[in-house]
Structure 1
């Protein structure tokens, strides 16, 4: 598969607007009506996602198929529809079971194949939290497996964790997903603006962003794995960085957040035995990324800090000066969210300042959105 073609140069604001490219506006008559998804269909229940009309219609159809014990509840509040789990689905395990069965069946039926079809399916569970900005308190993978095997439907402990679901399907249900990014770099002590960063090229066989440049280390946070533990895992899998190096030298430096809506090239509607099957829908994503830096210490054995491909997701690494990285970003050669991580690095390190960047405030605003969550 071919890699990207350089585009005409963009401003840095245009770069971040490419990634954070959607806002929620329930009062815009021209906007697609997004329906809040709550744990229960009442206003006191926490909002966990936003649903497109096609998904809401399919959930109504699911209830007609299981009329004896429907999984979904629909209610209107001040003329606005809301969707929630049925009252009998009161525990994280019960919700997880419903979502697992539903998403696997939709995959097998060929629904939304551009999002959850066999080629897109990740077979990886992501956590969903009551408060998307709250604690990551999902049980460990071992505890979740034991709960599933024991069919333990004990009441939830009141934590932030609500349930888990297939990673690919998170886009269909408009939930917030989480990831880790780390910039591995070198800088000379006597030259403050001498930063050089390790940049990987994504494998040209990857389903998403093939051949684009990326952050030194990046990956999702699966359900049951902590934020820093996810970074340790991804650092070895993607960059061959040893665990002791990451634990000793990686530093948490903040977060970025953005809403990325990708429009597929085509929208195909086919008629099947069970009615309309809509393929090629928009792929939406509320994204929050935890950001880390790892600087090669002066005088250290640099060979231990050189990232190298280990799995089939990365083709190669280059050590590039920051100026060269910025030029490639402006020409559209970097994965969209990676560009935000690098711009955040530049702000924190003083390479991007309000004196030399007229769009400084707007750039920062786009990199630290709250997804309009207060109006979900």
Structure 2
């Protein structure tokens, strides 16, 4: 509880006055009412010269002398905090309408070129990724919580050849809740892929920043259940992390974010989450990889090439070989997930 009647804070010499007792100038602090309803006489206050003067006339003493000035309480009335607003959700029909037209989706085109069309489709449907109309060929990543309710959708535009986000002539990223202009919308974000947590409570959870990275890493390292924070600082509040209580979690930060994510570990452990940090990328990345902002998915895509090509890449970049050993990756001929039309190579532990 904070006090309503306080000594006037120092805001320059004008806020210090002559003591009514010792007559010393600029050493007397007057009491004020932070609610602005009571104006105390000039003698209600305290002299700063505690040893030589010690004058102190309190609001309590003033009200005892002038009970007609008595207020209901000497303390500020602490008003009850209003209950939190309920979380808003996106209409299910809108989500379902987006779950098609993948042939026009530029991210789907990139994933198909890397993983095969069947695998790309499986991932888009599993993670509830749709096609948006905001920009031609754009992608919408629906944030679906553990109850299957959609909190919002992040819309982004990708280059179908490189898989990188389009940032020219401006950064192509926006939010569904901003576009629909729903009055009184109360956004509470959740992890991308969070809806998958109840489907497998034993598998270790891997957290990355990027939604796209969660899709790719899920294909190549399926021993983890991959979710995305949506950014370096996203979804690390207690209410977000509560869905991970009792789980084994591995953090896979982007290059440059390792220190920030390391600072999250103590909070997560306090909440009953077993946490490890995969910092191999930070320790072994090349200057070029750092400049391009690599994350775990970028490394996995580099290593998915056929063995001959991979060996050539290792000869040029020794860190790739170190990463293979670090993760215990083994190149296999058959795809990790059965596909009907496309044969591809993958990795397993």
Q: What's the TM-score once normalised by structure 2's chain length?
A: 0.25
Higher-Rg structure is 2
Give the structure, 1 or 2, with the largest relative contact order (CA under 8 Å, sep 6 or more).
1
Q: What's the TM-score once normalised by structure 1's chain length?
A: 0.24
